[in-house]
Chains A and B, each alone.
Chain A
Amino acid sequence: MLDRGWRLFAIMVNYLVYGLGSLLLWYVVYPCTAWRVPPERREVYARFLSRGAFRFFIRFTAFMGMWRYHIEGAERLEKPGRVIIANHPSFLDVVLLFALTENAVCIVKPVLARVPLVREPIRRCGHVVADEAEEVLRKSVRVIREGASLILFPQGTRTPAGVRVRFHRSAARIALEAGVPMVPVYFRYQPSLLGKGEQWYNVPSTRPRVQVLVGEEILPDNAGGEPLSLSSRKLTRRLEAWFEVLEYDHGSVGR
């Protein structure tokens, strides 16, 4: 009970640190330093700052006792120009991926581009706003070719564990068009934390343990130049299967 009260307090502190940290980073640190960076390198610079801030944040929140995390295969997220796909059980998946991925660009929901505190990093880091499909595809391929790694949640929104894995095909399509490997990342929260419909003040009874499993690269295969509409369907099924296996392995254990 005492532990739970502490974690409720910790979560409030974490939110405060997140908010103030964002303000400090994007309205003070970035404007005061970015002028020294040539304009064409500024997005990469913003992503570098953002990664540093998220790294600090995950360590700080773990230190505060909000959660414990264990990462396997982190080095696979250091390579340039990958399409990174992950399941999305919690709000914190984004935080972890931004902390772990080098030169990360994310595809974000259009509503986020209007949220005051998030709008600024989206603009500075050049994250891709998911509005018009063709445009998103074009922009995504471009940032990957420039060396960024693109983070996508192909379930489209936060989805609890144990639900059948169904992906939008855009992730596969982007990887096929860009001709780059995909890196799958599986998140598992025990118990769940900040999932869809869960309020921040609903603190779980035990401290959540998060496992992050970064899988081996999956190479998109466009055999014999078949239409990408077909290859992306096949590739999406492969990706869904990769996540399904882990959901089966882990889904019921220890719940």
Chain B
Amino acid sequence: MNFNDPDIVNKIIENAGHILRQAKSTVINHPKFKILSSNYLEKYWMNRVNKKNLFTIYIKESCLDKLDFKKIKSNLDTVIQNTLHTSNFLEVNENFEVLLSENHFFKDTQEAKGYLKSKSEEGYCVFFFGPVGVDAFVKGESVTDLNFFYSNEDVERFYEKGDISSIKDVLRSYQNHCLRKQFEYSRFFVDKGTIDKLGFGNNTLVNKPEKFMRDHLRNFLAERIRHTFRIEMELEATKRELDIYTEAEGESYFFEIKWLGKSINQERDKISVNYADARAREGVKQTLEYIEELVEVMGANVRAGYLVIFDAREEKKEIDFQGFSNVDDNLKEYMELFDIMPPLNLSNVHPS
């Protein structure tokens, strides 16, 4: 821990105003305020299935002293959950019993943020549950600034589905926004207890991770691209299955998924397989074989077959395809319909 690091000093200087303002706030520094927001509300947000559901919970500052966390925990899962089925703006008391439930729909983020700030000026702690996390407002100021969008309209515009031409942007977003979230990436790996017990390293994938990867990616694509993404489409002659397949304007696209790294066996006591670059090279060959069969046997109008590689190796290195020397000459003509997506890096930086 090098506290002499000039970066740390500069960061403190940059944020001096914010640090000193927050240090003075009796609300933000109330011992129960941080526990409420971090350990109860953020966890509640994290466990919600649909994070695009925007809502606000607000509570009088004077209730902070009397917060009863046991009751809060229980009411979040019952009363609050039920009330949110019909309302998106709830005033609660120290036990998180609902005092007032209303609906507020804002035309844009600016209007929503303005309203939440003004509410917090009336002596309330305001917690906004947005697509990215929980933001708090106290005495007219934002305590945290996690969310970019505060209105459904803005979120909808953001999630407006693109067409297949946006596939590379969507995969970039999958890497940068989805796979970096702990609650997303941790699902690919075995739990912390098993990691500690067996000592195979943090990046130990679950048993047979390929199906999970396929479904996870397919769901992400389906949310962001307007076409229908099918899984396990069987090829006529060889009966082999395409991982993910879609059609757009009469043209076929498919995604072959491979992964690098190690996965645990079914009994969860040993590593079952440990894939390195050779696995990616097999993927190239396999994808080209699929293109060949789709074009030659099934007469499909293939626009592109993509190789998608999840790289879960502890140490990420550039994948060596050895100039595709493993590809038979008869398959090389299909290279014009083939593409390799930038690897999707999976790292279990904070096992849970």
Task: Decide whether A and B assemble into one complex.
Answer: no
